[in-house]
Amino acid sequence: MGFLDELFGKKEEPAKPGLPFNFTTTLRPMRLSARKENCVEVLVSITNVTSEPFLASATLELPKALGFENAVVAKVKEIRLGEIPAGKTKVASFSVCASSQTAAGTYAMVLTINQHYRDYSHVMNYAKKTVEIRAV
């Protein structure tokens, strides 16, 4: 199964000491078409590896050439996942779009996963990962 995951763009972020979660990213389809209005789904799976539930959110920051809608205006989006029970997984879905002005190339997006304390204004732990997307 690992070979197919590599083929289809699924990448596992290894558990880091002190972090209560693991996360993976998947792109569907794997790339954008350059100079066309089209979108790619970025799926983020967050797994709680502790015995306690916690609040989580996922934030995705995009480069100038991409956006969250066809107008390519919004560059940052946060999805609040709510409480993730112990040992369970929740999935956040971001729709990343290109416009007719998006040139061919590789674009870096910054994904941040936050563990919150009490409410979403207090962050206990976070992890950042750069996700690359190709436009061909």
User: So what's the pLDDT on residue 7?
Assistant: 56
Amino acid at 75: K
At 1 the pLDDT is 43
What is the reported pTM?
Answer: 0.87
> Would you write out the chain's pLDDT as a tens digit for each of its 136 residues?
445 555 555 554 545 677 999 999 999 999 999 999 999 999 999 999 999 999 999 999 999 999 999 889 999 999 999 999 999 999 999 999 999 999 999 999 999 999 999 999 999 999 999 999 999 9
- What pLDDT score does 130 carry? 97
Looking at residue 64, what is its pLDDT?
95
Annotate 77-88 with b (16+ C-beta within 10 A) or e (fewer).
Answer: beeebeebeeee
> Within 10 A of 39 (CB to CB), how many other CB atoms are there?
17
Domains of the chain: 2-135 (2.60.40.10)
